[in-house]
Copies of this chain bind each other. A is one copy, B any other.
């Protein structure tokens, strides 16, 4: 049985179209661009993410014997088509926004230039990989903007949409500025710092809450973060204060306390007071439970003394905007620009580039969507990352991309950094591009 990273993780129509291209010998160069048609109303910007996974997919793309057998046995495909697939590899050129680049509607995130069948086949999985990470990176960045001084940790694995979503959400959140994740496998895969405390079940499995605290501290002396809200949050805080000297005598410091239910602002204030009066000013407070950037903003506005937050479900599913209108469209074939004119879904044709101007104070002042061969003022954002189906450079360390996000967030116009919807960032369409579209519409 093919694995989840099989080339057959695609839409059936990619294969039926490829069979048509094969029958008609349509192998000229195609140019597809991946972009977001419209930002969700809840987002003032997006962050390109997932490039490494996309390039890995393209570099390793091939049909295995098992997959070819399935295609043959399905009865849908001709022997000569299946034989062609056996040798199919991705041999194209790719331009992309560097991982972590902020972008806006209609700006290409990725451009694929390759023989039509290759460029067509990869559509579904390219969107699948880049859509999700871009979605989560933008969501996570909003959390970072709402709580810039706090330690933010991805807690979302359990309600992420499956295994890959859990892993890639942790990666995208760290890229966007989170401090780390609770998902062990993501920490290992992507080199992301891991964080973890305890669940209510550990407390419940003990007859006495104070025993649970003590046993946990003894077993994890280097990472003692105690969960306070299983029965009575403030009573648990007092137990923590009572336990601290005994632990200290054994050389164990309590690092933090977590509150996961009830009025998180009110509990934090009360617990902070109990801890401070007990001499535990260095013990940090960590909040969790149905949090997102909106709740973080409210808690901090209310002066809740949290040092960090675990953000789970609403991050990993991006609940206020769980999808993006991300598409991958043919812009040129056999040397001729192409334009889809479907109502409400018309595309800008040709090989495009986004040019970004930056003001003297370092703040982004506006982009131009133009043609690659008609440069506009500003920095061109798309760079070539693949040639002849091979990456031009070794994968960039994720920490470098994370620095890029931090720098770009700092360069966003202030209104776009707010959680509330702002006036859209200006993205002009270059006159050359408008002229090309008009020319194509005339036929």
Tell yes or no: A146 within 8 A of B by CB: no
Within A210-224, the residues touching B (CB, 8 Å) are 215-216, 218-220, 222-223
Pick from B14, B219, B260: contact of A23, CB under 8 Å = B219
Contact indicator B16/A196 (Cβ below 8 Å): yes
Within A336-382, the residues touching B (CB, 8 Å) are 338-345
Tell yes or no: A403 within 8 A of B by CB: no
Complex contacts, A16 vs chain B, CB 8 Å: 196-198, 216, 219-220, 223
Complex contacts, A182 vs chain B, CB 8 Å: 11-13
Contact indicator A261/B17 (Cβ below 8 Å): no
Tell me the nearest residue of chain B to A349, going by C-beta.
B204
Within A181-214, the residues touching B (CB, 8 Å) are 182-185, 187-189, 194-202, 204-205
Contact indicator A164/B4 (Cβ below 8 Å): yes
Interface stretch (choices A41-49, A98-106, A165-173): A165-173
Tell me the nearest residue of chain B to A155, going by C-beta.
B11
Interface stretch (choices A321-329, A384-392, A420-428): A321-329
Contact indicator B159/A340 (Cβ below 8 Å): no
Tell yes or no: A401 within 8 A of B by CB: no
Interface stretch (choices A85-93, A126-134, A238-246, A298-306): A126-134
Contact indicator A261/B343 (Cβ below 8 Å): yes
Interface stretch (choices A24-32, A247-255, A271-279, A431-439): A24-32
Contact flag A20-B216 (CB < 8 Å), given A15-B196, A127-B159: yes
Contact indicator A261/B345 (Cβ below 8 Å): yes
Contact flag A13-B132 (CB < 8 Å), given A4-B4, A188-B2, A215-B20: no
> Known pairs A9-B184, A322-B322. 20 more at Cβ < 8 A?
A4-B167, A9-B185, A12-B184, A13-B196, A16-B196, A20-B202, A20-B218, A21-B205, A23-B218, A24-B215, A127-B159, A129-B162, A132-B162, A159-B324, A161-B164, A200-B342, A204-B333, A204-B338, A231-B342, A262-B342
